[in-house]
Amino acid sequence: MTDQEAEALGAAALAEVKPGTVVGLGTGQAATAFIHALGKAVKGGLRVTGVPTSEASASLARTLGIPLIDQPVSLDVAVDGADEVDPRLDLVKGFGGALVREKIVAAAARRFIVLVGEEKLVKVLGGRGRLPVEVVPFAVPFVARRLTELGYPPVVRDKNGKPWVTDNGNLILDAAVRAIPDPGTLDRTVRDIPGVVGTGLFVGMAHLVMVWQDGRARTLTR
């Protein structure tokens, strides 16, 4: 998805935001475009409160003048992107590293809206070959061994040769996966490993997916 397409999707998602609502602000290309669109609307008089899913999204929102609260309790709507979307609207997320906060915000929202380009649509999750798993640092060797035993050998995500640290102070293991026919079972299996904080599998959470396809925003519902 190009930046221009992401911008058009972000603008289209504004129709889902009503005055006075609390809005979850996702992380990544599509979410960034939505935050920019929301910022313009706030400057034009729209009154909303944002709940960011990452420090990067929080910084951008503050720059654009969007009022923020730090912790979600109940949200009206959350808008985010995804790395994979299957026909049931189950997702793989977390390539940007904010999966745990994104899942908390999505779970706290009455409506969770996902913005993607058509290249993110897959028949079965797992096609891009990796599943992000956030892990407390102390548990990384143990969790890596367990994942390998399950058939999903992981690598520690790094940046410039050093382990990439999440906003929660944890590390991410990118587990090698193929097709995931039962994402709910795999999510529960991995989360049952002591030390795992969360996975990038978002099962049964998205209420609506907006896809940029053939020059327009197309809406998919469960």
Question: What is the SS3 string spanning 2-46?
Answer: CHHHHHHHHHHHHHHCCCCCEEEECCCHHHHHHHHHHHHHHHCCC
Residues 32 and 91 in one domain: yes
Predicted local confidence at residue 72, as pLDDT: 83
Predicted local confidence at residue 71, as pLDDT: 82
Q: Active-site positions?
A: 102
Residues 44 and 136 in one domain: no
Compute CA distances 50 → 15, 24, 53, 101, 209, whole Å. Answer: 16, 6, 10, 14, 20
Give the model's confidence band at 214: pLDDT under 50 very low, under 70 low, under 90 confident, else very high.
confident
Domain CATH number, residue 19: 3.40.50.1360
Residues 90 and 111 in one domain: yes
Domain holding 51, by residue range, is 3-121+203-221
Domain CATH number, residue 173: 3.30.70.260
Predicted local confidence at residue 45, as pLDDT: 97
Segment 59-110, tens digit of pLDDT: 999 999 999 998 888 899 999 999 999 999 999 999 999 999 999 999 999 9
Segment 121-180, tens digit of pLDDT: 999 999 999 999 999 999 999 999 999 999 999 999 998 899 999 999 999 999 999 999
Residues 115 and 92 in one domain: yes
Number of domains observed in the structure of the chain: 2
Residues 158 and 208 in one domain: no
Token pair belonging to 179: 């097709």
Residues 114 and 13 in one domain: yes
Residues 157 and 117 in one domain: no
